[in-house]
Amino acid sequence: MSDAVVSNSDKQGAQPTRAAQSWFSRALDSDLFYSFRRSKLTMVAAAITVLFFLLAIFASALAVQNPFDPAQLQLMNSRISPLWTADGQSPFLLGTDEQGRDVFSAILYGMRISLAVGVAGVIFAGALGIGLGLIAGYFGGAVDGVIMRIADVQLTFPAILIALLVNGIAKSILGNRLDATSMLVVLVISIGLSFWVGYARTVRGSVMVEKNKDYVAAAQLIGLPAPKIMLRHVLPNTMGPILVIATINLALAIITEATLSFLGVGLPDTMPSLGTLIRIGNNYLFAGEWWIVAFPGLALAALILSINLLGDWLRDALNPKLR
Amino acid sequence: MSICRSLFAATLAGVLALAASPASSQTLRYANQGELKSLDPYTLNETTTHAHLGHVYEGLVERGKDLKIIPALAESWETPEPTRWRFHLRKNVKFHNGDPFTADDVVFSAQRVLAKGSDLLTRIPADAKVVKIDDYTVDFILSSPNPILISQWDTWYIMDKKWAEANNAVAPTPVAATTPSYASLHANGTGPFMIESHQPGVKTVFKANPNWWNKPEHNLKEIVFTPIASDATRVAALLSGEVDVIEPVPLQDIQRVNSSPNAAVLTGPELRTIFLGMDQSRDELLYSSVKGKNPFKDVRVREAFYKAIDIDLIKNRVMRGLSTPSALMVAPELYPLSKDFTRPKFDPNAAKKLLADAGYPDGFEVTMDCPNDRYVNDAAICQAVVGMLARVGVKVNLLAQPKAQYFAKVLKAGGFKTSFYLLGWTPGTMDSHNVLHDILGCREDPKDPNRGQANLGGYCNKDLDALTDKILVEADTAKRDLLIKQAFDISIKDYAYIPLHQQSLAWGVSKKVKLTQRADNQVLLYWATKQGE
Amino acid sequence: MLAFTLRRIVQAIAVMFAVGIIAFSMFRFAGDPVNQMVGQDTTIAEREAIRRSLGLDDPVILQFSHYAANAAQFKFGISYQFRLPVTDLLIERMPATLELAICATVFAMVFGILMGVYSALKRDTVLAKLFQAVSLVGISLPTFLIGILLIYLFAVTLGWLPSFGRGEVVKLGWWTTGLLTLSGLKALIMPSITLGLFQMTLIMRLVRAEMLEVLRTDYIRFARARGLTTRAIHFGHALKNTLIPVITVAGLQFGSVIAFSIITETVFQWPGMGLLFVQAVQNVDIPIMAAYLLMVSLIFVTINLVVDILYTVVDPRLRATVGRAA
């Protein structure tokens, strides 16, 4: 089973990039780009999203310390307020937390985790959903029935519940072997398993439509194998809606990760993501040490808001009926 | 004349008292960070549970506001010979259901507390005989003298034999019980309060007992207890007046509570010592990069860990000044000679050198177990320790868990599964012997299975154990204190543990409420009075 | 009609069966139940005896049928943390969660419809734009942040509302309600808003879209041509047509509201099933997790079923298609 997946993705390597590219260049020419330039709000949102991604990618260059390395934290520097307040101290722009962790650096590194988990979760969910959607749509019949019934069941549960369940099960199976790395994997899997249905339904729908078209029959006639037809011809046609789902899912995945961390079932406190920072900071909010929760909270809200705005715009732009 | 005057004074005082406290009319709301899981007084040996149930149940003796032992259900006692204790029971005491309290109940409670499933086995020596002499006299016959026999009896609560038999509650409810017993959901004591309702984890209502044998010091009609786990929520509830008493107040909120018009924080030294322990018994650590040997078996490594920790910085930053760094495993209030001990100086360079000498010039990796909802700022202390050890080259992976999982893993019942941990300990007997016996004593002593029961790292020194046994039977206080000193000296020379500090009590109390804070952190509201609203 | 209903019921049972298998696997395979129950001192022989008494040596199929039979009678075993039957714990906390979920839904419906209608009718006013902004925030801000913000504003800074718990509750049989006391009502406000905000946003967007759609249709134009007042057209015709999908969505979302109360209950320490579930996940209390999963699925499946059937009763045209649309 896993071998088959690997070989598929190997073949996938060269061609779909071209397909995606052609789709992308088509998109740039089209009214998609036009509507992007027309909406100032969308441009701001895109700018913020890109900025956050850059901040996360170059976190180690921008941060004054590595907040995940306990040796770099000085307890002496704990609970310093932001730079512009009376007690502020350089280089701690946004102040420090209880452990002497620079809040700005912690946000950068935390954002990196949030985005990494979000993106990986979305990719995992997308791969799973697209794969199952293709299989269900192409083969139809009993296979389709089983996959779509599972999707129905899954859809009845909100993502956060599924994520919490996966998390709880992983904890009870792995127990004390659960270190930071495997926790990351568990987070990605629990998010991925919560969001695959959207992709599967969309892909299945378009496959059902496309597979009866003449070009597919023609391709079948010249002897192209089924996976090849689907990946080369059918899949590119679903890219638009999938991109919309992926964008909106990214925001949801980031919220889910933050919520899990806020509930205390995410990454350990020594490796805080944005949700963990907010949970820890929440304890100091009422003590007047507001900056520990306020800035991570703002960063998280801004990130999700911009991604959502992008997703909204993308959906409207790709679906002229709604405009 | 003088009789007349004192009579008048007494009457006046009585009238004033009545006027000041309009006959038990107040409702006091109390929130703690932990839950009250079982009402069975023998299920869990834990301070907060004892405090809750102390409102409902009483022991033969109790501890006063200064922690001195005073008579309760036993009016008096004597030791006609060193191995025989005689207790004279209080007459006309009734349980909440109306059953009279007699010697039978004491004999029954002794059997029950020693039965399988009880978590309070240490209250009475297993081979003690409990004999009813008459309805109001009971003898305890011991196999060897034990001057501190009654030191933990303030939390050995007496239960009603008739009630237990009628309700199928003769056997104690084990912590790991699979079906809830009657006694874990209902209570029938002799104490100043009765359980009106009990929803585990949600709310427990205590109603004042109108037929209590003693004169109440409180003016309460009822106590409503709610667990609120979240620090911020608990403090907000106190400040908005939704609850009258909270325990604990997180350190970071003390200032804010004190500056509010409604409430203030009652602080005081707590008798609990917070310390770090290291697994010194296994040949290879369970969770470490070092294979084939156990670095903690080398005293130099333990010394290095000790010297790598800057306790003053932890006090000033993590504990916000509210802790007393400690050189001993017992609080100074409980041991008069504790002034003679000082902590070795914080010295990271010496620590590095010690590690290099022990064969770890580049340090090593070890996992630390830490509770994150048990002691004041426990997880933050652990994080600070991780940082300090990182600076001498030791990479510590921190596993901070809720107390339920933490204790299930590290305690005896979980198989002592830890390599390096943080724990807190208050000696139940209010005496050093308990620390020497439970924390510093060797495990698996064939003659004394309870020895070392909380010695999670398995430190063992037979010389110390021999001294501990002498301390138990030594009646001369001055001599005893010197023996204790010798024993502690051995443990310090061995770097058996790394004592950190005694934390501070921090109770948030509404300005309408007056109460007494006892240093063992039992929140006892039967000493509380509340102004009318 | 009957055939359709039957098919939906069979589907619902199949879903519950599938969820039951998941719950059973969690219960059975995630963590050895015997290890969770006994102490370290328990001998191997005793462990074996417990295994047998729990039926853990039976074939898995038999075990599952036992589990299913018990679950059908709402017996879910004993909580590892509380040592109480899970059913008792859930029933004790159900009123709190249901009351919160209902209040949140009512809040979401009332404000969602009002704001949706307003922003459809007066599209370009400042207020309508503000509503749009609020709706974006409602979707974007994580629930816990909204909760923290509300507590900080209304409980700590202003001191108007309680920050935690249900206030005083009145017992009506096994049900407890906070609706009959002032403190209970005050305690409901912030959690309801926090929980309902997302649904409110959803309903507002839906109402706005539907209203705009309906206002464009021919019969509204005819109504206008007939000289009906604007008010009668907007509220007598347009809104009425909008309400059916709105009520459907609100109904379908009710299950989500219950599930999302997990977060709200944690922030406000609301003593409901969600808080119980979060504590169970933190403490790896599998029986509670499995039972909660079954409970929530039952609620979901029931709501879906009822909505589907009602829908076809209300609108016969949908009978043919609705089977696939859910």
Q: Would you call B50 helix, strand, or coil by DSSP?
A: helix
Would you say residue C233 has pLDDT above 80? no
**Does B232 sit within 8 Å of A282, measured CB to CB?**
yes
Distance between A270 CA and the closest CA of chain B, angstroms = 7
Chain A residues lying within 8 Å of B407, measured CB to CB: none
Best of A77, A98, A285 to disrupt the B interface by mutation (most B CBs within 10 Å)?
A98
- The whole-angstrom separation of Cα A302 and Cα A280 is 20
Count Cβ–Cβ pairs < 8 Å, chain A vs chain C.
104
* pLDDT band, very low/low/confident/very high, at A227 (cuts 50, 70, 90): confident
Output the 3-class SS for B426-468. Answer: CCCCCCHHHHHHHCCCCCCECCECCCCCCCCCCCCCHHHHHHH
- For tokens 């259901």, the residue is B97
pLDDT on residue A7: 38
- The whole-angstrom separation of Cα B353 and Cα B337 is 32
ipTM of the assembly? 0.77
Contact B391, B405 (CB under 8 A): no
Give Cβ neighbours of residue B510 (< 8 Å, ≥ 6 apart): B238, B241, B243, B244, B245, B262, B263, B530
Would you say residue B254 has pLDDT above 80? yes
Chain B residues lying within 8 Å of C162, measured CB to CB: 237, 240, 242
Strands B137-141 and B84-89: antiparallel
pLDDT on residue B20: 41
Would you call A253 an interface residue with chain C, using a CB distance cutoff of 8 Å? no
Q: Which chains touch C (3 or more CB pairs under 8 A)?
A: A, B
* pLDDT band, very low/low/confident/very high, at B10 (cuts 50, 70, 90): very low
Q: What is the pLDDT of residues A209-218, one digit of tens each?
A: 877 777 777 8
B225 forms beta bridges with: B30, B204
- The whole-angstrom separation of Cα B497 and Cα B381 is 16
Which residues of A, range 177-206, sit inside 8 Å of C by Cβ? none
Would you call A264 an interface residue with chain C, using a CB distance cutoff of 8 Å? yes
pLDDT on residue B183: 92
| Closest among C234, C232, C129, C146 to C196, alpha carbons compared | C146
Would you say residue B340 has pLDDT above 60? yes
Distance between B238 CA and the closest CA of chain C, angstroms = 10
pLDDT on residue C324: 34
Would you say residue A26 has pLDDT above 80? no
Q: Which chains touch B (3 or more CB pairs under 8 A)?
A: A, C
Chain B residues lying within 8 Å of A76, measured CB to CB: 313, 317
Would you say residue B114 has pLDDT above 80? yes
Best of A165, A176, A304 to disrupt the C interface by mutation (most C CBs within 10 Å)?
A165
pLDDT on residue C321: 42
- The whole-angstrom separation of Cα C283 and Cα A164 is 12
Whole-number mean pLDDT of chain C? Answer: 79
Better-predicted residue by pLDDT, B154 or B11: B154
Chain C residues lying within 8 Å of A251, measured CB to CB: 140
- Mean pLDDT is highest, among B327-336, C60-69, C122-131, for B327-336
Lowest pLDDT segment from B227-241, B298-312, C25-39: C25-39
* pLDDT band, very low/low/confident/very high, at C316 (cuts 50, 70, 90): low
pLDDT on residue B455: 94
* pLDDT band, very low/low/confident/very high, at C110 (cuts 50, 70, 90): very high
Q: Would you call A255 helix, strand, or coil by DSSP?
A: helix
Better-predicted residue by pLDDT, C83 or C302: C302
Q: What is the pLDDT of residues A311-320, one digit of tens each?
A: 888 887 776 5
**Does A157 sit within 8 Å of C136, measured CB to CB?**
no
Lowest pLDDT segment from B268-272, B288-292, B408-412, C197-201: B408-412
Better-predicted residue by pLDDT, A49 or B119: A49
pLDDT on residue B21: 41
Would you call B18 an interface residue with chain C, using a CB distance cutoff of 8 Å? no
Chain A residues lying within 8 Å of C259, measured CB to CB: 157-158, 160-161
Q: What is the pLDDT of residues B428-445, one digit of tens each?
A: 888 999 999 999 999 988
- Per-residue pLDDT, averaged over B305-324, amounts to 94
- For tokens 């908005």, the residue is B240
B185 → chain C, closest CA residue: C84
- Per-residue pLDDT, averaged over A3-28, amounts to 46
Contact C196, C127 (CB under 8 A): no
C291 → chain A, closest CA residue: A165
Q: What is the pLDDT of residues A258-312, one digit of tens each?
A: 998 888 777 888 888 898 888 888 888 777 788 988 899 999 999 999 998 888 8
A289 → chain B, closest CA residue: B252
- Per-residue pLDDT, averaged over B337-361, amounts to 95
Would you say residue C114 has pLDDT above 60? yes
* pLDDT band, very low/low/confident/very high, at B170 (cuts 50, 70, 90): very high
Would you say residue B188 has pLDDT above 90? yes
Chain B residues lying within 8 Å of C40, measured CB to CB: 412-415
Better-predicted residue by pLDDT, B449 or B514: B514
pLDDT on residue A178: 63
* pLDDT band, very low/low/confident/very high, at B409 (cuts 50, 70, 90): confident
Distance between C237 CA and the closest CA of chain B, angstroms = 47
Lowest pLDDT segment from A12-26, B150-164, C122-136, C201-215: A12-26
Would you say residue C308 has pLDDT above 60? yes
* Residues comprising chain C, all counted: 326
Contact A128, A189 (CB under 8 A): no
Would you say residue A241 has pLDDT above 90? no
Two structure tokens written together for B289: 């990069």
* pLDDT band, very low/low/confident/very high, at A28 (cuts 50, 70, 90): low
* pLDDT band, very low/low/confident/very high, at A177 (cuts 50, 70, 90): low
Chain B residues lying within 8 Å of A179, measured CB to CB: 397
Q: Would you call A243 helix, strand, or coil by DSSP?
A: helix
pLDDT on residue C45: 60
* pLDDT band, very low/low/confident/very high, at C56 (cuts 50, 70, 90): low
Q: What is the pLDDT of residues B478-508, one digit of tens each?
A: 999 999 999 999 999 999 999 999 999 999 9
